[in-house]
Every structure is written in structure tokens, then in C-alpha cells.
Structure 1
Amino acid sequence: MVRCDILVIHRYRSTDNAVAYVSVPPCDSSQDFGELLETEKGADVVFEVGDETVAAHRCVLAARSPVFAAELFGPMKEGNVAAAGVVRLEDMEMEVFKALLRYAYTSSLSLQGMANDHITCRKILVAADRYGMGRLKLICEEWICECINVDTVVTILALAEQHHCEGPKQACFDFLADPTKLRAVMVTSGFQHLWESCPSLMMELMDM
């Protein structure tokens, strides 16, 4: 006696001729959060930068930065947030801080329209390092690596050393590995200042 098991398929759809009945759009949360920043709806903290102010949302900033979390909700709160919910920021430009805020809300950085964008990018890198926003710092590092030339390499090398940016540091070393470029840089006042202020870095360059 032979036994056969038969499986009956009631519905079948070929994947080659599949019809998409539902179209799911890309996630638009970054746009929604960007609008939240622009409209300031529900904002509960105000930052004073120079003579300007900008409002934001504590929870968003705390979720994006461990430093903001400590300043707005942790032990540092009392010393940083006034009774009216105002935070005064020193050593920060509004253009740079707005770029930092926009990244916190949208995970994107745009330097378009900024004056001296390569200089602004370096300042944003410093701010990102200050607030522990690692991915933003890496975005700036990547962009700065494309800005290395005879006029900027010393400044970028010093910045990379101070803020532990291995990518830009190596890019500067690779740039200076060209004897012609190195000679052009060595006669600049910036190089002489770097030699005096950071001799260990110069020794590392010479060893390379």
C-alpha cells in the first residue's frame, strides 16, 4: 500500500507579478521634528547666545546629547538653567548653535549659505565634541578632510590633535608627506606656532 499526502494551496500569487496594494512612504520624522524646532511649539527651554535667543525642547536635546541631559535634567541643572528656563551659553555663535540644534532634531547638517563654511564646520565640530554628539562630529571630520590645503592644514592638524580626530589628523599627515607641500607649509607663521605650542605633534610628523 502506498500513502500520498496532498497539499492543496487555496491562494497563490507569483512574486514575479506581485502587485503592491500599499505604498509605504519614507520615514518623515526628521521633517516633523524640524518643524517642531521651527515653530517652537511646546518649547520649554530658551538659550541665550550673544544677543539672540532660541527656544527648544529639553527632552529632545537630552535624548540626543548626554551633556544636554546632564545640564537640563541632571546634577548640573541648577547651575545652568535659570528659574525662567533660560540657559546662557558662552563661547558659542548663534549660527553654530542653530546648526547643532537642527542636527539634534533632524540628524542632518547643512552648511549651505553659511559664510566661510569650512571655518563654520570646524566650529560645529568643536561644539559637537563639547556636547558629546559623536555622529555630528564625524560628519564634520569627514567634511574637513576635503578642505585640507597649504593654507588650512596647520589649523586642521591642531584642531584634530586637540579634539582627538584621527581621520583629519591622518589626512593632514598624508598631505604633508608630499615634500613640496611640506616645504610650502613650513615657511608659514602657523607652522612655526604649531612647532612651539605642540612639539610632540611635530615630532610625530617628523617620525612619519
Structure 2
Amino acid sequence: MFSVHGWLLAAKSLVFMAELLCSFEKTVYIQVDDMEAEVFKSMLHFIYNDGLPEIEKSDDVFVMAQHLLVVADRHKLERLKLICQYVWTNSLTQARLRFMSLRLHWLSRLKEACSQFLRCPGILKEII
């Protein structure tokens, strides 16, 4: 459990603002189940300090940036997204680039398969 200043969360994130403002309680508890404690802690570090926490190993920085990019997108933390993208672009290696291109290729194949599936007669009506 983390104690934080709700006003600061609300000031940095419209998502947190919506969660916090819908409660009339003086003390509000938000349950976050979709991220690890270390990732949440790093997000809070960004919110309070406008930067990422110090991380020793470059591989750990890259992995944390991956997690934080997802969190930043979900919680509408645009500056954190930019910082994570900067970390990614400055820590690209051949192995990481190969991994990312394979992943992007797989995602484009999945996207195309979904698109073809939706073009099948009657499928869209079933979904809606």
C-alpha cells in the first residue's frame, strides 16, 4: 500500500483525476491490480519528481521503460511516455531491434487476420 497526495495524482493524470473526484470521502483508496509494485513505485517517482528513478543496469532500465510506457499510456501521463520512448531509442541494440521487429511483424499479422475476420459476411453483426 502506498500513501500519496491525491491532488498531485489528479494534477498529473486525468485518469486519476476521474477516479479521485468521483469520491466524496476525505481519504480515498484506489486499488491498482494491473501493475507490479516496483512499476507503480517508479510511476509515483515520476509523478513526484518529474523523472525516472535511478536504475543500475541498462537492461533493467529498458525493461522498466517498457512497463512504464504501458502505464503512462493507460493513465494518460504524456511526459512519462516521452521519457520512456527516449530511453528506448537510446538503448536500442541489435538484439532488441530484432525482438521488436519480430514482435511488430507478429502484431501486423494479427491485425491483418482480425481485419480479414471482420470482413467475413455476418461477423460484424454477431459482434455488435
- Give the TM-score, by structure 2 length: 0.71
Match for residue 34 of structure 2 among 77, 91, 103: 91
The gaps in structure 2 that reach 5 residues or longer are 114-128
2:4 corresponding residue in structure 1: 56
Is 1:113 aligned to residue 78 of structure 2?
no
Shift of 1:116: 2.2
Describe how 1:35-46 pairs up with structure 2 within 5 A.
none
1:132 corresponding residue in structure 2: 76
What are the superposed Cα offsets for residues 96-147 of structure 1, whole Å, 9 maximum, x if unpaired?
1111111111112134137722111110111111111111110110110122
8 A contact 2:73–2:81 mirrored in 1: yes
The one-letter code sitting in structure 2 at the alignment partner of 1:56 is V
The percentage of counterpart residues that share the same residue type is: 29
8 A contact 1:111–1:121 mirrored in 2: no
Residue 2 of structure 2: SS of its match in structure 1?
Answer: strand
Distance 2:48 2:70 in 1: 19
Describe how 1:1-208 pairs up with structure 2 within 5 A.
53-74=1-22, 77=23, 85-113=28-56, 116-153=60-97, 156=100, 190=103, 193-194=106-107, 196-199=109-112
Larger Rg: 1
Evaluate the alpha carbon distance shift between residue 135 and residue 191 of structure 1 in structure 2; reply closer, same or farther with a 3 A threshold: closer
Evaluate the alpha carbon distance shift between residue 111 and residue 153 of structure 1 in structure 2; reply closer, same or farther with a 3 A threshold: farther
Shift of 1:148: 2.3
Residue 151 of structure 1: SS of its match in structure 2?
Answer: helix
Cα root mean square deviation, aligned: 2.9
The gaps in structure 1 that reach 5 residues or longer are 1-52, 158-187, 201-208
Report which structure shows greater RCO (CA 8 Å, sep ≥6).
Answer: 2
Greater strand proportion: 1
- Give the TM-score, by structure 1 length: 0.46
Shift of 1:156: 4.3
Greater helix proportion: 2
Distance 2:37 2:17 in 1: 20
